[in-house]
């Protein structure tokens, strides 16, 4: 399937609570997780749509931000009882390279 911002958002909204796989065509990046939430962030001059994935790995968070030309992925680990991330890895996939199942 060919993805764009709107079709990706609709997919995540319709798969709330379900386990999905997210990967980049031709890359080793592959994430399996349950769609926990899809929500809008009001930034005054614009609105961003984000989604969160729940993973089996405790302490690892995945937040997805739907931009016009790409999907931003933020992998974050945090120490218990800490507000500061231990590891923060931003990544982006163009919709042309995106595979969602």
Mean pLDDT of the chain: 92
Question: Which residue has 């009001």 as its token pair?
Answer: 42
pTM: 0.89
Please give the residue range of the domain that contains residue 91.
5-100
Check pLDDT > 80 for residue 25.
yes
How would you classify residue 14: left for phi > 0, otherwise alpha for psi between -120 and 50, otherwise beta? alpha
pLDDT given for residue 53 in this prediction: 96
For the chain, what is the domain count?
A: 1
In degrees to the nearest 10, what's the CA dihedral of 63, 65, 70, 71? 30
pLDDT tens profile 47-65 = 999 999 999 887 788 999 9
d(CA 35, CA 62): 10
CA atoms within 13 A on the CB side of 11: 19
pLDDT at position 40 over 90? yes
């Amino acid at each position: 399937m060919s993805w764009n911002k709107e079709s990706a958002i609709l997919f995540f909204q319709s798969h709330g609570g379900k386990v999905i796989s997210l990967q980049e065509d031709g890359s080793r990046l592959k994430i399996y997780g349950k769609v926990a939430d899809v929500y809008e962030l009001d930034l005054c001059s614009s609105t961003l749509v984000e989604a969160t994935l729940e993973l089996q790995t405790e302490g690892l968070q995945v937040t997805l931000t739907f931009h016009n030309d790409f999907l931003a992925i933020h992998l974050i680990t945090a120490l218990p009882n800490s507000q500061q991330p231990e590891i923060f890895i931003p990544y982006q996939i163009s919709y042309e390279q995106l595979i969602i199942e």
